[in-house]
Structure 1
Amino acid sequence: MLKIDGLSKRFGDKIAVDRVTVAVDKPAMIGIIGRSGAGKSTLLRMINRLTDATEGAIIFEGEDITALRGAARRAWQSRCAMIFQQFNLVPRMDVVSNVLHGTLNRRSTLATMFNLYPQEDIHRAIEILDRLGIAEQAAKRTEALSGGQQQRVAIARALMQNPRLILADEPIASLDPMNAQIVMDSLRRIHEEDGLLVICNLHTLDTARRYCDRVIGMRDGRVVFDGAPEMLTTATAREIYGAGEDFSEAATSTEIETLDGAEEIRLAEACV
């Protein structure tokens, strides 16, 4: 389904992604982990063609994505939806209009200028919002929503593109634990119900283990781990992150129970 073959990206003398080779045979939910600067975001941006590869190839369902130019490249970016940590929504615009922006690649310039949408697209946008549990927010300005709700609007916009592949770049990095779980539950459900390949850059090991079928670990631009989540031991994590014996998964956990427990300890200590 997806083959990444010897993919590299250089920025001057710096190698951001170094000869990455990955093969995906069928739709799955894949997590990519690694410390900041490991090359995770650059890899996703190359798959989406927001950034050109220096060398190597990306093949999706038999098509060489790295060779696409112009309209063909834009068509690929419609099929390969991207979800960002910063949401990339229009804050003063209502929620449903932000979702409808997922159809911009297939609309005329005139329709785009005058913000004209077919009735069926509007109905579909509301149906997607309802599926994500935020249909009641459709008429509100996006800036009035919580961070977790805004990320679900961004997911809804991605689904409006009718994608074959969803890329999510640190989709929960700026969210509290409760909203992080809601967003990850949504992405997992989309993978299972729609049969889509979902690739997420993640910064916490517990999230990767809980939601992903496969985990890829990157360090210094290279893939240093590729396996099932149960193979992601603490020792393996130390190798991926280049950490010592003092490495603690709890420090980056998104589990509500873990964080609440830590908060209880902090409060107990404060009361002594």
Structure 2
Amino acid sequence: MLTIQNLTKAFGANKAVDNVSLHFDRPMMIGVIGASGAGKSTLLRMLNRLETETSGTITFEGREISALKGGDKRRWQADCAMIFQQFNLVPRMDVVSNVLHGTLNRRSTIATMFNLYPQADIHRAIDILDRLGIAAHAAKRAEALSGGQQQRVAIARAVMQNPKIVLADEPIASLDPMNAQIVMDDLRRIHDEDGRMVIANLHTLDTARRYCDRVIGMRAGRVVFDGTPAQLTTGVARDIYGADASFSEAATSTSIDTLDRPTQAKRAERA
């Protein structure tokens, strides 16, 4: 379905992604983990064609994506939706209009300039917001929403594109544990219910284990782990992050339960 072959992206002498080869034969939920600077974001940006590879190829359903240009490239970017850490919404625009921006790749320039949308698209946008539990905020400005709500609007915009692949670049990095869980639940549902491939860059091991079918570990631009969540042991994680024996998963956890354990321990001591 999706094949990445010897993919490299160099910025001068630095290789952000270094000879990466991966194959995914069916839609699944994939987590990409690794330290900052490991090449995770650059990899996703090449898949979406926001970055051009230095060498190597990307093939999806038999078509070489890395060779697309012009209109074909824009159509691929509609098929391969991108969700960003900082949401990338239009703050002063209402929520439903932000979601409708997911149709820009298939609309005329004039319709875009005058903000003209078919009624069917408006109804579909509201239905998607309802599915994500935020339809009540459809008429509000995006800037009036919380961070978690804004990220769900960004997810709704991606779904509005009706993509085959959803790429999420650190979608929960700026969220509190409760909102992080809601956003990851939504991404998992998009995979489970819609059959879409979801590839998410993640910083936390517990999130990768809980939500992903397959985990890719990157270090210094190279893939150093490719396996199931069960194979992602603490020892493997130390190798991915280049950490010593003092490495603690709890310090990176987004789990409310995990984060609450120190508080529970203190209460027990006082008791």
What SS does structure 2 have at the residue aligned with 1:250?
helix
Query: Within 5 Å, which residues of 2 pair with 1:173-252?
Result: 173-252=173-252
CA distance in 2, matches of 1:261, 1:242: 26
The alignment's TM-score, normalised by the length of structure 2, stands at 0.98
Q: 1:230 to 1:156 in 2, by over 3 A?
A: same
Task: Give the CA deviation at 1:223.
Answer: 0.3
Q: 1:40 to 1:266 in 2, by over 3 A?
A: farther
For 1:13, the equivalent position in structure 2 comes to 13
Task: Give the CA deviation at 1:160.
Answer: 0.6
Task: Give the CA deviation at 1:156.
Answer: 0.3
CA distance in 1, matches of 2:49, 2:193: 26
CA distance in 2, matches of 1:257, 1:34: 23
1:151 matched to 2:164? The reply is no
1:128 matched to 2:128? The reply is yes
What RMSD over aligned residues (CA atoms) do the two structures have, in Å? 1.3
Task: Give the CA deviation at 1:267.
Answer: 7.8
Task: Give the CA deviation at 1:266.
Answer: 6.5
Task: Give the CA deviation at 1:268.
Answer: 8.2
Task: Give the CA deviation at 1:261.
Answer: 1.9
For 2:93, the equivalent position in structure 1 comes to 93
Task: Give the CA deviation at 1:255.
Answer: 0.6
1:171-221 CA distance string (max 9 Å, x none) = 000000000000000000110100000000000000000000000000000
CA distance in 2, matches of 1:140, 1:77: 27
1:127-182 CA distance string (max 9 Å, x none) = 00000000001001111111111000000000110100000000000000000000
CA distance in 2, matches of 1:116, 1:68: 29
1:3-47 CA distance string (max 9 Å, x none) = 000000000010100000000000000000000000000000000
For 2:139, the equivalent position in structure 1 comes to 139
CA distance in 2, matches of 1:263, 1:58: 47
For 1:35, the equivalent position in structure 2 comes to 35
- 1:218 partner amino acid: M
Q: Tell me whether 153-162 or 256-265 shows the greater mean CA deviation.
A: 256-265
For 1:110, the equivalent position in structure 2 comes to 110
Task: Give the CA deviation at 1:264.
Answer: 4.3
Query: Within 5 Å, which residues of 2 pair with 1:52-71?
Result: 52-71=52-71
What SS does structure 2 have at the residue aligned with 1:36?
coil
Q: 1:244 to 1:116 in 2, by over 3 A?
A: same
Task: Give the CA deviation at 1:265.
Answer: 4.8
- 1:117 partner amino acid: Y
Q: 1:266 to 1:8 in 2, by over 3 A?
A: farther
Unaligned runs of 5+ in 1: none
CA distance in 1, matches of 2:262, 2:239: 26
Task: Give the CA deviation at 1:260.
Answer: 1.6
For 2:83, the equivalent position in structure 1 comes to 83
CA distance in 2, matches of 1:205, 1:141: 34
Unaligned runs of 5+ in 2: none
The alignment's TM-score, normalised by the length of structure 1, stands at 0.97
CA distance in 2, matches of 1:253, 1:61: 36
Task: Give the CA deviation at 1:262.
Answer: 2.5
1:231-260 CA distance string (max 9 Å, x none) = 000000000000000000000001101112
What SS does structure 1 have at the residue aligned with 2:173?
coil
